[in-house]
Structure 1
Amino acid sequence: MNNSVPENERAIWILKNEGEKTLKDLAQSLGVTTEGARFQLLKLSNDGYVKSESRALGRGRPQQFWSLTKKGHGKFPDSHSELTLRLINTIKENLGEETLSQLINSTGEDNLRNYRKMIVETDPLESKVEKLAELREKEGYMAHYEQNQDGDYLLIENHCPICAAATLCQGFCATELNTFQSVLGPNVKVERIDHILAGARRCAYLIQDKTKS
């Protein structure tokens, strides 16, 4: 839990970072009673930040799952979205798509240089993934990594601070994927398996060591 999150927004932060939850699970994450969690959720629901969906899971009573609304996701910053969108449209209209692509590629090259200063080429793959997650977290992507049962890694980004720009021009997403691939090295396969722009709640990247037997 991020200790800097205001008390009345902790539920929003948890749902953003961990995805939908039942009342019981959210109460446990918050460290409060179910009644306390219900009170918070009802207030957030009245304010338009969260919503619930009733879902049957086998036998027994349906359970309610709570998640963020569009307004709830909007509590997390999209870096200067209005200005960025105006700049993108101005570049498209006055200089053309090719110039915009060149600018996006140039930004990707800058990011790659910065990442390479912090990620050592000869380090083990897990160390590289861990450092990449740390860098992305600092950039506002609410990022962390996990290792799955196959020994592969998942880089998970629960927020996209450039979502408005990426929605207008998906070259940002393609460049981002290429940057990850380049910084992790030729013996690594990086695949985006969840994508916010495709409707997922997060972006997630499967990272596999191609030399692993």
Structure 2
Amino acid sequence: MALKMQGGLSAAALGEKLGTSGEAARQQLVRLAEEGLVEAHSAAAGVGRPTQIWSLTPAAQARFPDTHAALTVQLLDIVRTQLGESALDIIIAAREADTRRAYEAAIASAPDLRARVAALADLRSQEGYMAAWTEQADGSLLLVENHCPICAAAIACQGFCRAELEVFRAVLGSGVEVERQDHIIAGGRRCSYTIKANNNVSA
């Protein structure tokens, strides 16, 4: 909290603010650095050795309250009530088109369906979905998303979920069946998708 409120501080300055010694503060900072929550950089302080200034990492910043989900839901409600459902459909369609183009470009070089699903799982993980995939006994593929970073928006407007399913179907190629099995919005622990290729598509 001290680093959040004051910005970068030396261990000595932090110790003073916390009512402890600079060494005690430094030891705590080292532990936080090992957890990826703080980082240090050197700053010139006149004659002598540079001073280490400690500041929060993005991982630490994420631990502080964030109302973006509530704001997103509020904005969706405003669009729906002020501009109508059709305006909301336009927004979702534009997002769907942008996502599809980005995914298609990212997996364009994947040689087969397994590689495309693996690349899609990587993309989704980068976006915070904690995605993974496995091959099932019947030869189908299972794409699993253990987290939904847009859950609040998806609850407010399930068009986002519909659009994402359509994106998956588009980028994995024609002749590929993609069906949602589990759905976080419907009370599931995760979202999962069964992916099957017909005889004309290489798995």
Q: TM-score, normalised by structure 2?
A: 0.65
The residue aligned with 1:164 is 152
Matched, 1:124 2:112: yes
Q: Distance in 2 between matches of 1:96 and 1:164?
A: 20
Distance 1:197 1:176, change over 3 A: same
Q: What is the Cα deviation at residue 121 of structure 1? A: 6.6
Distance 1:79 1:200, change over 3 A: farther
* Count of aligned pairs between the two proteins: 142
Q: What is the Cα deviation at residue 80 of structure 1? A: 2.2
Q: Distance in 2 between matches of 1:195 and 1:112?
A: 21
Matched, 1:142 2:130: yes
Q: Please, which of 77, 97, 102 is the counterpart of residue 109 of structure 1?
A: 97
Contact 1:141/1:159 (CA < 8 Å) preserved in 2?
A: yes
Contact 1:78/1:163 (CA < 8 Å) preserved in 2?
A: no
Q: Secondary structure at the match of 2:133?
A: strand
The residue aligned with 2:78 is 90
Contact 2:134/2:143 (CA < 8 Å) preserved in 1?
A: yes
Which structure is larger by alpha-carbon Rg, 1 or 2?
2
Give structure 1 stretches of 5+ with no counterpart. Answer: 7-74
Q: What is the Cα deviation at residue 79 of structure 1? A: 8.6
Distance 1:157 1:122, change over 3 A: closer
The residue aligned with 1:40 is none
Q: Distance in 2 between matches of 1:161 and 1:5?
A: 26
Q: Distance in 1 between matches of 2:67 and 2:109?
A: 30
Contact 1:130/1:145 (CA < 8 Å) preserved in 2?
A: yes
Contact 1:189/1:209 (CA < 8 Å) preserved in 2?
A: yes
Matched, 1:179 2:167: yes
Q: Distance in 1 between matches of 2:175 and 2:93?
A: 23
